[in-house]
Chain A
Amino acid sequence: MSLLEVASLSVSYQTRRGNVRAVNDVSFELERGRCLGIVGESGSGKTQTCLAIAGLLSADAAVSGSVRFQGRELVGASRRTFNELRGKDIAMVFQDPMTALTPHLTVGSQLCEVLKVHEGTRGTAARRRALEIMERVRIADPERRFDMYPFELSGGMRQRVMIALALILRPALVLADEPTTALDVTVQAEVISTFRAVIEHTGTSLLLVTHDLGVVAGLCDSVMVMYAGRTVEQAPANEIFAAPAHPYTRALLECLPRTDRPRGARMISIAGQPPDLAALPRGCAFAPRCTRADETCAERAPVLEACGPQRTVACLHAEDSSSAAASSGASPSGVAS
């Protein structure tokens, strides 16, 4: 049994402009100690998926499908169930470390509060645990920082505090929603390496939501690409980067400016913009922006189909990735050459 099993998850909102399906029939599994990256543009449903798992969607969201965490069904679970799980078994790291911390409490007291609420640990024992976790997420000089307020810390340091808060109870699952997007690139590199070290050490599973494929490359074992609320491709990280099967995945990879490539060439972009979720086209949602699209794409919506041992893709004109998948499975280094 996987730690997290999401099956046919849908999230929709009734609006004046009609029914908006923010997440549409999304399924995936996450094993213990692994890291899954959910990638997509704004409005692709990646954050909504995350919030649905944590039970943090607003009251007007209609959720269907199933989210099983450690075998327990979370869709429709009571507030009490979530209150027990959140923090202790499922923790969350948000994008903006500036607003996610309580401004009038010191870093130390926020860390200790978590221990008090969930375990009843107080006093020096709590303080010791807090300092320990601060050290683990590489906060330099934890003794001094323990008594500081969030505003006295830099953005990178605050995000480390957020990660410490998420990890202090050793949760089985951490949901990280764009954890490095608000940070400088130098600080981002450090936060990524902190995450990597912590996952290896504690065996926590990580669900990483990001629009940055570079961050995914550094952290994730597998990747799920979302577009307009649907999963368009799912694959192990090595394979998806070596040979993307969906034209959208390929385009996302190609439009990244890369410092390891010669400069001067024109940047590749994806024409147009993401569709209106209240008025999705009948066929493939990506078809209007897709270079491979033809008449059938406008008529028929593609479904997720297997295109390799651990891969699925939803495209009528998917690139053949089976050969690349096979070779990368055998020897990862062979793909790079």
Chain B
Amino acid sequence: MSPPLLELRDVRVHFPVRGRRARRESAVVKAVDGVSFTLEEGRTLGVVGESGCGKSTLARTLLRLVPVTGGEVLWNGRDVRGLDERAMRELRRDVRMVFQDPLASLNPRMTVGELVREPLDLFAPELDERAKRNAVAAMFERVGLRADLVERYPHEFSGGQCQRVNIARALIGRPKLLVCDESVSALDVSIRAQILNLLIDLQVDTGVACLFISHDLSVIREVSERVLVLYLGKMMECREAEALFAAPSHPYTTALLGAAPVPDPLIERNRPHTTLGGDLPSPIDPPSGCVFRTRCPESGPRCAIVEPPRKSIDGGEVACHLRSSSQSIQERP
């Protein structure tokens, strides 16, 4: 059996911190702490959590943009840490990222045509001039940009159009994995839906796998087949989207879902609001036991002492003391 496209095994990324508190003991921020998942070819995994939960750091481990402290990041079964420069070049061709700020992601001194073409120059030098031009024109059409815009510069475009350029640039080299790190968060609602639909269509067309990172569970819900919920660098819940949204198992997932405002005053003002008390704890000094317990509406005495192990439940895994087996989850009303 061939290995999955991407597999993370117990990945940890710890950063040493300097500063007042660190003087006495060597403090570390556990940005990502023990995250595991697999992503098969052509599938979509959504990663969701609040700012500072380690979503972006997790994505950056795939391209060795941050040093991995422990665990393995396996690309087609090979640990990316062991790759030589040549293999890294291939990896950078196969794994492409689309970031949050559409304009800042584009070199302001290059035309959008050059920007979309650049990956071809780097990764497909064997193509002749005409083939490259045709590929760029086809890609422009595919992402919904007029072909006569190739000579324009990024500042002449709106945010949504710039994000289309970024997507074209990411996909022109036919990557195997597209990492979207908050790619629609900076866009207006009307444009956001356009770009999400475009991403979904392109994924169906090209069969590219997608790691979709967002703080917005309602966006994750639209695009993901599987969802990973992170909190303070730790995995809270990782399940099939269908099962997760039908019956969220972890109290944190429930809270995230409940916090999203519903655009209907009759529902919004009458539904119970169980807001999470307090703020995200400091990642330098995370709570003992379960890291979520300080904000958890259901936490008990055991949560403060023992870190909850991962348990398998309907459609995936959850890390919570209050959930036992898959049967009991389904019995929950």
Bound pair: A and B?
Answer: yes
Chain A interfacial positions (CB closer than 8 Å to B): 41-42, 140, 154-157, 184-190, 192-193, 211-218, 220, 237-238, 241-242, 251-253, 255-260, 263, 266-271, 273-274, 332-333, 335-336
**Contact yes or no, B265 A217, CB < 8 A:** yes
Are A186 and B256 within 8 A (Cβ)?
Answer: yes
Q: Is the CB of B262 within 8 A of A214?
A: yes
Q: Are A184 and B267 in contact (CB under 8 A)?
A: no
What residues of A have a CB within 8 angstroms of the CB of B264 in the complex?
A: 217, 241, 336
Q: Mark B223-249, 1 if CB is under 8 A from A, else 0.
A: 000000000000000000110010000
* Cross-chain contact A184 with B263 (CB below 8 angstroms): no
The answer to whether B190 touches A190 (Cβ under 8 A) is no
Q: How far is the CB of B227 from chain A (nearest CB, A)?
A: 11
B 30-60 binary contact with A (CB < 8 Å = 1; else 0) = 0000000000000000000011000000000
Task: Choose one: A41, A242, A267, A274; the contact of B222 (CB below 8 Å).
Answer: A267
In Å, the complex CA distance between A187 and B51 comes to 11
Q: How far is the CA of A185 from the CA of B275 in the complex (A)?
A: 10
**Can you report 5 A-B residue pairs in the complex whose CB atoms are below 8 A from each other?**
A185-B216, A185-B259, A255-B190, A256-B263, A336-B264
A259 touches B275 (CB 8 A): no
B154 interface residue, CB < 8 Å from A? no
Contact of A186 with B255 in the complex, beta carbons under 8 Å:
yes
B residues 236-295 touching A (CB-CB < 8 Å): 241-242, 245, 255-269, 273, 275-276, 278-280
C-alpha gap A204/B221 in the complex (Å): 37
- Chain A: interface secondary structure? helix
Which B-chain residue is minimally distant from A253 (CB atoms)? B263
Separation of A98 and B139 alpha carbons in the complex (Å): 39
Is B177 part of the binding interface, using a Cβ–Cβ cutoff of 8 Å? Answer: no
In the complex formed, the residue of B with least CB distance to A239 is: B265
Would you call the interface of chain B mostly helix, strand, loop, or mixed? helix
Having A186-B275, A192-B261, one finds 7 other A-B pairs with CB under 8 Å, namely A184-B50, A212-B189, A214-B261, A214-B263, A218-B269, A270-B194, A336-B264
Taken together as a complex, chains A and B put the C-alpha atoms of A185 and B160 apart, in Å, by 22
Q: What distance in Å separates the Cβ of B128 from its nearest Cβ neighbour in chain A?
A: 35
Given the known A-B contacts A190-B275, A217-B264, A267-B197, are A185 and B190 also in contact in the complex, defined by CB atoms under 8 Å?
no
Q: What residues of chain B lie closer than 8 Å to A216, measured between beta carbons?
A: 263
B330 within 8 A of A: no
Q: Is the CB of B266 within 8 A of A193?
A: no
Structural contact, B263 and A241, CB atoms closer than 8 A: yes
Contact among B193, B241, B265 with A263 in the assembled complex (CB-CB below 8 Å): B241
Are the CB atoms of B269 and A185 closer together than 8 Å? no
**Beta-carbon nearest neighbor of A336 in chain B:** B266
* CB nearest to B241 among chain A residues: A263
B155 at the interface (CB under 8 A from A): no
B189-A255 in contact (CB<8A): yes
User: Is the CB–CB distance between A336 and B267 below 8 Å?
Assistant: yes
Nearest B-chain residue to A41, judged by Cβ: B188
Partner-A contacts on B (CB < 8 A)? 50-51, 158-161, 188-194, 196-197, 200, 215-219, 221-222, 241-242, 245, 255-269, 273, 275-276, 278-280
- Note all chain B residues with C-beta closer than 8 A to A333: 266
Residues of A within 8 A of B275 (CB): 186, 189-190, 193
Chain B residue nearest in CB terms to A335: B266
- Determine whether the beta carbon of A271 is less than 8 Å from that of B266: no
A267 to chain B, nearest CB (A): 4
Inter-chain CA distance A116–B248, complex, in Å, is 50
Residues in B with CB closer than 8 Å to A218 are 261, 265, 268-269
CB distance from A164 to the nearest CB of B (A): 16
Docked-complex contact B219 and A257, CB < 8 angstroms: yes
B190 near A270 with CB under 8 A, answer: yes
Q: CB within 8 A of A241: which of B189, B200, B265?
A: B265
Contact, CB under 8 Å: A189 / B261: yes
Q: How far is the CB of A96 from chain B (nearest CB, A)?
A: 13
The minimal Cβ–Cβ distance linking B218 to chain A, given in whole angstroms, is: 4
B residues within 8 A CB of A259?
217-218, 221, 245, 257, 260, 262
Q: Are A332 and B262 in contact (CB under 8 A)?
A: no
Contact of B260 among A41, A185, A193, A251 (CB under 8 A): A185
Residues of B within 8 A of A332 (CB): 266
CA A236 – CA B230 in complex, angstroms? 39
Expressed in whole angstroms, the minimum distance between the Cβ of B222 and any Cβ of chain A is 5
A45-B121 Cα distance, complex, nearest whole Å: 42
In the complex, are the beta carbons of B197 and A215 less than 8 A apart? no
A273 and B266 contact, Cβ closer than 8 Å, known pairs A186-B256, A217-B261: no
A267 to B201, CA, bound (A): 12
Chain A: minimal CB distance from B296 (Å): 12
Which B residues lie within 8 Å of A184 (CB)?
50-51, 215
9 interchain residue pairs of minimum CB distance: A214-B261, A269-B193, A270-B190, A257-B218, A255-B193, A213-B263, A189-B259, A269-B194, A217-B268
Contacts known (A217-B263, A218-B268); A42 close to B221, Cβ less than 8 A: no
Q: Give chain A residues whose Cβ lies under 8 Å from the Cβ of B256.
A: 185-186
Q: How far is the CA of A154 from the CA of B269 in the complex (A)?
A: 27
A257 CB contacts on chain B under 8 angstroms: 193, 196, 216, 218-219, 221-222
Tell me, in angstroms, the Cα distance from A237 to B197 when the chains sit together.
29
Q: Which residue in chain B gives the minimum CB-CB distance to A237?
A: B265
Cβ-neighbour of A251 out of B190, B261, B268 (below 8 A): B190
- State in angstroms the CA–CA spacing of A242 and B279 once bound together: 35
Instruction: Say yes or no: A273-B160 contact (C-beta < 8 A), given A184-B215, A241-B265, A332-B266.
Output: yes
The answer to whether B190 touches A269, judged by C-beta atoms less than 8 angstroms apart, is yes
